[in-house]
Structure 1
């Protein structure tokens, strides 16, 4: 399973541990991913996603999962989230 947020695309970054003596060793910065169940108002059902905690704050700020997905760029979304976005668009249009 990839360490990537399904909503924002946030993934692993790499950098250095730097000691007091300025010795540098490579390290990885992992995103804070959590498994959550978010409710979709348009689809009237829960959706299980693996998202970063920072993405949860953004979802709440934008007014829920539906509003977040409609505003988010397609390049950042996972295939599952893209499918949800398509379903929400179809439900709201029809």
Structure 2
């Protein structure tokens, strides 16, 4: 399943509405980007949404760890494991 490994943003479902107002199910998928972040000296490859990527862009390692701890409820297991080392 497509899910941001930091913020937890995932697939959203709803209806596609045609001109005649017929409804059919559809899904909006997140724009996930593959990037590498350094957590406690360990390089971790993660899939993140652009909002999290923009936040992480200018941060050093200690600020990155602080940001990850703030989002600890939605972290993936591999990021949480690297954070707790």
Superposition TM-score tier, normalisation by shorter sequence? 0.7 to 0.9
SS of aligned partner of 1:6: coil
Match of 2:84 in 1: 86
Alignment of 1:1-94 (within 5 A): 2-40=1-39, 43-60=40-57, 63=59, 64-72=63-71, 74-87=72-85
RCO (CA 8 Å, sep 6+): is it higher in 1 or 2?
2
TM-score, normalization by structure 2: 0.79
Count the aligned residue pairs: 82
